[in-house]
Chain A
């Protein structure tokens, strides 16, 4: 379970990296497509078609952000209940909270662009929290507070 905790934390951090890359990939593709004479407006945006290949970046960002990462964060929290890491639940809870905040900011950014900027900032917070949680587990392992069958408990 401790391994699962650490691995999940790293996967979530990696997912944040993928999110950033997918977004920039798509925006760069859009820019190039417009340079080449493409015209974007609401109807084209909502047409469900693929005017340029990099548009897949937007799809990845959406599916990852709305489905995969929230599910990972949820599983991460549940794993933390079993992983017996000091502060493990707290950090997993924080990661889940930041994921929820990230979705809210991402969606709100469509109507209030400044919240989109905070979406970018919050991505870094989420990444840091996930990495910290993952590394924290390694440093804490073996301290006396961790309870295991092989250990003789100190009783009052």
Chain B
């Protein structure tokens, strides 16, 4: 009683000590109001030191009814990614060993750079095979402290051979080995590390895989080392012998993080394959640039002029292949070849209109915390990683996906283990050859409808191939019902796929 009376009298007199205390309380409450939510979001965003990708985010069944999902589940439950392999009894047709090192090395051009090599070189050895062969690669990590894992970009490998650290295997530590086995289809592919990939791929842990009966094909694997663009490790103008009248197939591989344009002077050309799949009925074109997005491949076929004239294939602004006598450099043509309307239509083996699953992959950008780090991060369907969809399918499903991008930047989206058919862009339907991709450039403000058949069970990354973007949250997964993984991100192996 006495105490409260005192308080009242204090208030009435406006005691300075009390005013100070009150101000302090108000200041503390205001501080809590400002800092509290931030601290909460920060804490909530922190990832555990080890986690399975399948434990994060939320399952997205793509509108499949419960019954369908339950039905598809029968007889498939509990398969580990480790069990999804090529026939283990089949002997390999092509077998080789790749030894990974972190070192300072010389490019084919002679320039010394610091980075990563396979068998002492970067780009690594070109792996050549023919259709239907079983390729077996034994990876040895000799001196890469962070560990390595090799992903076969564009090859629809069995899931166990996908080479994603923390999803389909553990990163291969110092002194350890890992064996990849898969059967190949014709086409131009490449391989690269999927462990700390944003650093290891830039640093040169990559190479080409060419599946073709013709060993004379010209490879143009483009990679930027230390800010210098190279073609097969060579800088500037790279000469390739070619006889008049000869048909030259140039297999372009963009291993960088951004889109590159290729254009030809000296002769017309045809775009004969995209991402390892032949274009149906391609027509000869000239004075157009061919966009090659990050991770993508484009095969150009060029007839050398009968009069002995040479040809120049421009690869971005600073590198070029000179076929035969070569030709002068010309500026990039304003017109771009749009695969949406290139070539002629062909029958499909599936009906995209009868989709079992329909997914949205909506790319945005918003402020928030990613594993405790504040910043502006890429969002998927409005959420930040790891609160992203797990696109869930059953084997045999026809899957449609709409990839829309309003994030302010372009994203080269890459789905592992599958090739997807582009149906339309911004609502405009494809009118040309079936356009099959594994790496699709989705520009800012664009939206693509794609479709594919879920015919390769496993847990597959579906991410941006501007690799730093993948580490900034632009990573989701496609998961088949009943498939599980024993591997985790983080953990003792230090798995860090992005």
Contact = CB atoms under 8 A, between A and B. Distances in A.
B224 A50 contact: no
A47 B199 CA distance: 10
Contact of A43 (B13, B35, B259, B409): B259
B331 interface: no
A110 B258 contact: no
Nearest to A74: B34
**Interface SS, A side:** loop
A67 B260 CA distance: 31
B225 A40 contact: no
A51 B260 contact: no
Contacts of B261: 41
A51 B26 contact: no
Interface string A118-156: 000000000000000000000000000001010111011
A115 to B, nearest CB: 10
A3 interface: no
Interface string B393-416: 000000000000000110000000
Given A44-B229, A47-B227, A107-B408, A78 B257 contact: no
B23 interface: yes
B24 to A, nearest CB: 8
Interface stretch (B14-22, B342-350, B384-392): B14-22
A48 B226 contact: no
Given A49-B224, A50-B226, A52-B227, A41 B316 contact: yes
Interface in B17-42: 17, 19-20, 23-24, 26-28, 30-31, 34-35, 38
B202 A48 contact: yes
Given A78-B34, A151-B16, A41 B376 contact: no
Contacts of B365: 107
A110 B408 contact: yes
A114 interface: no
B303 to A, nearest CB: 28
B466 interface: yes
Contacts of A74: 34-35, 38
16 contacts: A38-B227, A41-B258, A41-B260, A41-B318, A42-B260, A44-B316, A44-B318, A49-B224, A51-B226, A70-B374, A74-B35, A78-B31, A81-B30, A107-B408, A151-B16, A152-B16
Given A41-B318, A46-B294, A147-B20, 14 more contacts: A43-B257, A43-B258, A43-B316, A46-B256, A47-B258, A48-B198, A48-B468, A67-B375, A70-B374, A81-B31, A82-B24, A110-B409, A111-B444, A156-B14
Interface of B: 13-14, 16-17, 19-20, 23-24, 26-28, 30-31, 34-35, 38, 198-199, 202, 222, 224-229, 254, 256-261, 294, 316-318, 365, 367, 374-376, 408-409, 444-445, 466, 468
